[in-house]
Chain A
């Protein structure tokens, strides 16, 4: 269990880290994109802390999931919204927890269907072991050491709360 204050603190650290990175790479005009739903909550906070010029983008990766034929269509899909063109732009992709890497794969596929970004930086609030794809985050709030049957879940949006659950 991670407390609310800790999470806001983690996000502030992530923002500092990100700012440093973007400055080092001389990136101006970055587009931040949050992945529905938890990633978007984290992105909203990062976006405010960094004071980015471009509005926040959002992605719903339901149409890109590779397990579609097993789990079927979710009618509560929200449309993805990217306020500006992604072409030749630096994208900061934000998610809550990085686990297998499949969500990020789907999100990147979708981003490329909108255009050709100059670069993508990945920022996640938490990461854990269990990667199934060669994907790593550039900015990580916290690392979780979890047992095989444990899961970490972000609830929100107010307050944000991370819980570790025993998977059935």
Chain B
């Protein structure tokens, strides 16, 4: 049998979605196209299609999250799947056999998909390696590693607004070092082939060797924003003030916060994005977050269609060789 990556089945179709890295360009386009057809489902009287009727989706959240969990739940329900939510006490470390025991118990209850959120990088890969062959795993965020559905919904939003990726200059501003969203965005944007991809932050928030991912590094916000078509702001966690990453929120906002004045340096039709939740007055001014160039709320509603697309593609596969039905 041909060797295939963990997230693809033996026929090259998406089995798990763990990271954007390794997805082919056409595969990303297919997901965005499928999502496009799901958008209208939200406008109907019955916001539901029967695609995943009889399938059970388990939201396995080891880390608190409201928005991501909600949109995954809505997406699954709009596909008519049964949805189970399991919040694991995040203070108790669940690992090793006990984690796998729990997975196998859920499998024994005929679950078909695990949507996993975990504070440690690599958790989704670990779970995908140990689930029964018919179960699909969707990574809803693991540590600082990946958040592939967030990146896909951002690609969806960019495509709807800008059409083509090739001519775009995209700037990602903020805490690149600790951001799983940033890593997934970088893989998605480089795979789709934007003209220039920039990351903008002080060195304390830029991981070593980030250039190896195909980005240009800027430490000056003005230069990083100049001529950008898309500006993606990242959330700044309060913890970063400890551990000597940054002196203060005020200084951060003054040097890296997106204000109307700074945004004027980007192209006049530039769009502003943010994966949320927003810290107003820390990384972005309210007037920009709520302004005409902001597509932040659009991102949220697109999140449902994109997650519907990913779930239906992963579960709607004819069983491949070596998989039980």
Contacts and interface: CB of A to CB of B under 8 A. Distances in A.
B134 to A, nearest CB: 11
Interface string B74-107: 0000000000000000000000000000000000
A79 B36 contact: yes
Nearest to A86: B45
Contact of B40 (A62, A73, A80, A115): A80
A69 B51 CA distance: 8
A73 B37 contact: no
Nearest to B46: A113
A77 interface: yes
Nearest to A109: B50
A96 B74 CA distance: 35
A71 B318 CA distance: 6
Contacts of A62: 37
A72 B318 contact: yes
B33 A64 contact: no
A167 to B, nearest CB: 20
A95 interface: no
B48 interface: yes
Interface residues of B, number: 23
Given A79-B36, A79-B40, A80-B40, A113 B48 contact: yes
Interface string B10-48: 000100000000000000001101101101110011101
Contacts of B30: 75
A68 interface: yes
A114 B316 contact: no
B265 interface: no
Contacts of A78: 37
A138 B114 CA distance: 46
Contacts of A72: 13, 316-318
From B13, B51, B316, residue with most partner A Cβ within 10 Å: B316
Nearest to B34: A75
| Size range of the chain A interface in the assembly | 20 to 34
Interface in B50-74: 50-51
A122 B213 CA distance: 56
A86 to B, nearest CB: 8
Interface in A10-26: none
From A64, A79, A81, residue with most partner B Cβ within 10 Å: A79
Contacts of B34: 73, 75, 77
Contacts of B50: 63-64, 109
Given A73-B313, A75-B33, A77-B37, A68 B51 contact: yes
Given A75-B33, A77-B37, A79-B36, 15 more contacts: A63-B37, A63-B41, A63-B50, A68-B51, A68-B316, A75-B31, A75-B34, A75-B313, A76-B33, A79-B37, A79-B39, A79-B40, A80-B40, A81-B40, A113-B44
Interface of B: 13, 30-31, 33-34, 36-37, 39-41, 44-46, 48-51, 312-313, 315-318
